[in-house]
């Protein structure tokens, strides 16, 4: 586990304060918790401070949040240094790229995405590009394993990446026209590559080739599922006729069965 430290003094601003809008938002967050428990709002308010402070948390911001929540400075410092979503030094003005390096993404080409960041931004993570517009880091799972490899830029995820698409994304941020987040190969959410393969036309269909994408999805996001006849049908075995009386043609040996003996009551 790496040690996380605040940015050096020469990079720290002298002061921090919320804008009127953010101050009103922070005070409203505190009301969500009972009296004496206002410290529970520290993560949310610290996150808003990071958003206002160009994507990173300064020492002045930590002290401001601590005073607002009546917490010791060290307690807010512990939160900021423990959770890796808080950046402790300046990040790129246009984009800070978090590349997922967990196993599913690595198996699908995350190494190529890291190479693009090293070539376009800086060889080492947590360093600004020459113009100060970009920075990058490798992170653990960001929760889009099915569309690996992926990266997060600010609060948006970009999925199904390769070298070409990662370069196009950076070009978009350079030009001030970021591409649409999500899959970069036209995949619908986490659907299979090439479109739906099953549950089409009322039943299972053979697997389609990846190059044979359907003209349109089987269902849109606003359509409800419609039960088909095959879905309603139930497989039941055919009823069997009752078995014939075997004793009619083959009576038991030894003649007719004897009647049970009647018990004799003792004479009075």
- What is the residue extent of each domain of the chain? 9-82, 95-183
Per the CB < 8 A criterion, the answer to whether 110 and 148 are in contact is: yes
Let me know if the fold of 9-82 is the same as that of 95-183: no
Cis (ω within 30 of 0) for the bond into 149?
yes
| Euclidean distance between CA atoms 144 and 215, whole angstroms | 26
- pTM for the model: 0.70
Residues in contact with 67: Cβ distance below 8 Å, sequence separation at least 6, in sequence order:
none
**pLDDT given for residue 205 in this prediction:** 47
Q: Where does the chain have alpha helices with state H?
A: 20-30, 42-52, 59-69, 73-82, 103-107, 110-120, 163-175, 229-232, 246-249
pLDDT tens, N- to C-terminus, the chain (268 residues): 468 899 999 999 999 999 999 999 999 999 999 999 999 999 999 999 999 999 999 999 999 999 999 999 999 999 999 999 999 999 999 999 999 999 999 999 999 999 999 999 999 999 999 999 999 999 999 999 999 999 999 999 999 999 999 999 999 999 999 999 999 998 888 888 877 777 766 654 455 555 555 555 555 566 666 666 655 566 677 777 666 666 666 666 665 555 656 656 666 5
Rounded Cα–Cα distance for residues 115 and 120 (Å): 8
Report the SS3 class of residue 134: strand
Token representation of residue 208: 């389609």
According to CATH, the topology of domain 9-82 is Arc Repressor Mutant, subunit A (1.10.10)
- What is the torsional sign of CA 76, 78, 81, 84? negative
Q: Under CATH, which architecture does the 95-183 domain have?
A: 3-Layer(aba) Sandwich (3.40)
Q: Can you give the pLDDT at residue 191?
A: 85
């Amino acid at each position: 586990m790496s040690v996380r430290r605040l940015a050096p003094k020469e990079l720290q601003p002298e002061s921090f304060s919320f804008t009127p809008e953010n101050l009103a938002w922070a005070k409203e967050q505190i009301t969500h918790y009972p009296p004496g428990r206002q410290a529970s709002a520290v993560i949310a308010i610290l996150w808003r401070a990071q958003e206002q402070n160009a994507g990173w948390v300064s020492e002045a911001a930590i002290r401001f949040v601590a005073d607002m929540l009546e917490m010791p400075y060290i307690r807010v410092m512990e939160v900021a240094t423990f959770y890796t979503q808080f950046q402790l030094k300046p990040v790129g003005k246009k984009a800070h790229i978090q590349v997922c390096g967990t196993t599913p993404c690595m198996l699908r080409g995350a190494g190529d995405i890291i190479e693009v960041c090293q070539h376009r931004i800086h060889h080492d993570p947590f360093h600004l590009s020459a113009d100060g517009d970009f920075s990058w880091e490798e992170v653990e799972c960001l929760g889009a394993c099915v569309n690996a490899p992926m990266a997060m830029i600010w609060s948006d995820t970009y999925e199904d990446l390769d070298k070409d698409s990662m370069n196009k994304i950076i070009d978009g941020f350079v030009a001030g026209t970021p591409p649409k987040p999500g899959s970069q190969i036209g995949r619908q959410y986490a659907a299979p590559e090439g479109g739906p393969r099953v549950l089409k036309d009322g039943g299972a269909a053979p697997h389609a080739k990846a190059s044979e994408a359907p003209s349109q999805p089987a269902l849109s996001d606003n359509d409800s599922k419609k039960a088909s006849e095959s879905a309603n049908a139930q497989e039941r075995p055919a009823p069997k006729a009752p078995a014939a009386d075997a004793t009619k043609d083959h009576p038991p040996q030894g003649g007719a069965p004897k009647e049970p003996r009647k018990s004799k009551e003792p004479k009075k």
